[in-house]
Amino acid sequence: MGPKAVCLMISCALVAWHMHTTFSANYEEPWKIMIIHSLVRICQITVSQYILVEDESMSIKSFPAFLPYETFARWAANRLDAVVVAPDYQQFLKYHHPTQWNSVSDFVKSFLQPETLAKYGVDPNRVCITGDSSGATLAAAMTQQVIGDSEIPIKPKFQALIYPALQMLDTDLPSYRENEYGMLLPKYLAIKIMSEFYTTDESLQQALKTNQHIPAEYSHLFKFVNWSALLPERFKKGYVYTNPIYGSSEIVKKFPGIVDPTINPLLASDSMLSLLPLTYMLTCQHDVLRDDGLMYVTRLRNNGVQVFHEHIEKGFHGSFFLINWPFHLNLSLRLIDNFFSWVDENL
């Protein structure tokens, strides 16, 4: 039996286990979601196999999960009569921070100049920055960067963040606990992706799992991710907040990015947040990243920023982008339709 067959069997076993553990949640079109979840799991394991044997012929970009962005960009351009620019940054398994950050930052800097906008027929007063998941991390980070950089004359009218990851300080938030085995993005996978953003060295992943990866000298940052203070009551459920347990300084020395507000937008100061423009935030109930978004909403509002917050009770991580046949969901189509209406009104 070749490695692929083994993969498939392992995937099936995993899928069966995940189905068992997550089916109690409240989903629309649950069986379709199960099938998508299974396929993603199989693709993911197959991708890891190929990467392990360094088979360069297999491009991650060709997987179905990455196609919706082009569909989405086309829909946005048609529906909003807008210029949609989607920078194609380096894939995270091959390149590590700050490669993606630098390339997106260079792109945004050069694009948000009056001459460039004029060339593409873009109204400088009607620019917005958006992204989903790790793309929303970059979108939130870029918005902060653009607002703070006097060399960038054009400022966005709003930012739109679809279930962003905004911090790596606390990986034991109520949303992480509730969705440990959640659809499409279970906790272990979220941690793997976050850590592979920085490195393939497994020590970061291990440290994030124990949630004792931040040394006491960074204790001042914990107030920015203090869910006891920043989460609305109904999301705290029965969870009890405990103050952080500090670790050795080894991990932060190796990967200083994990405490850098430049790439962890939730760690930015109040004075930075108070400068941010109107914000659209979408969070999903069944998503490990839910509380990152919820806490950012609280902090933005505390700092006088106007926020339009859409919380999807039946939503899960990825539910915004399942739009390509046969993997399309009614929920995704509705969310995107609402999103376009909001953008249309506010841009």
Ligand X SMILES: *[C@@H]1O[C@H](CO)[C@@H](O)[C@H](O)[C@H]1NC(C)=O
| Whether 303 contacts 173, CB under 8 Å | no
Site string for ligand X, 254-273 (x = CB under 6 A): --------------------
User: Which member of 212, 226, 324, 346 binds ligand X (CB under 6 A)?
Assistant: 226
Taking the complex as a whole, the smallest distance from the CB of residue 61 to ligand X amounts, in Å, to: 29
Answer yes or no: 287 catalytic.
yes
Beta carbon nearer to ligand X, 63 or 222: 222
Binds ligand X by CB under 6 A, chosen from 200, 206, 228, 306: 228
Number of residues that bind ligand X (CB under 6 A): 10
Cβ atoms of 249 and 215 within 8 Å: the answer is yes
Nearer CB in complex with ligand X: 42/173: 173
Q: Does 29 bind ligand X (CB under 6 A)?
A: yes
Alpha carbon of 139 to those of 18, 98, 204, 249: distances in Å?
A: 31, 15, 24, 29
- Of 18, 97, 286, 317, the catalytic one is 317
Residue 159 has phi, psi (to 5 degrees) of -115, 145
Instruction: Find the binder of ligand X among 24, 26, 150, 243 (CB under 6 A).
Output: 243
Phi, psi of 31 (to 5 degrees): -70, -35
130 within 8 A of 158, measured Cβ to Cβ:
no
> Among 170, 172, 287, 292, which one carries the catalytic annotation?
287
Least distance CB 314 / ligand X (angstroms): 10
- Per CB under 6 A, the list member of 223, 232, 302, 304 interacting with ligand X is 223
CB proximity list for 240: less than 8 A, separation 6 or greater: none
The yes or no reply on residue 35 touching ligand X (CB under 6 A) is no
Residue 269 annotated in active site: no
Q: 11, 133, 175, 332: which one is catalytic? A: 133
Nearest residue (CB) to ligand X, 66 versus 241: 241
* Of the candidate residues 110, 200, 330, 338, the single one contacting ligand X (CB under 6 A): 330
Segment interacting with ligand X (CB under 6 A) among 100-108, 172-180, 209-217, 219-227 = 219-227
Q: Is 14 exposed, middle or buried (0-12, 13-18, 19+ CB in 10 A)?
A: middle
Q: Would you count residue 245 as binding ligand X (CB under 6 A)?
A: no
Q: Is 222 in the site for ligand X (CB under 6 A)?
A: yes
Rounded to a whole number of angstroms, the minimum distance from the CB of residue 222 to ligand X is 4
Least Å distance, CB 226 to ligand X, is 4
User: Per rule CB under 6 A, is residue 229 in the interface with ligand X?
Assistant: yes
CB of 321 to ligand X, least distance (A): 17
Amino acid 68 reads P
Minimum CB distance to ligand X, residue 331 (Å): 8
Q: Among the candidate windows 2-10, 54-62, 218-226, 284-292, which touches ligand X by CB under 6 A?
A: 218-226
**Distance (Å, whole) CA 304 – CA 302:** 6
37 is catalytic: no
Select the residue interacting with ligand X from 19, 28, 49, 134 (CB under 6 A). Answer: 28
Site residues for ligand X per CB under 6 A: 28-29, 222-223, 226, 228-229, 243-244, 330
Residues annotated as catalytic are 133, 287, 317
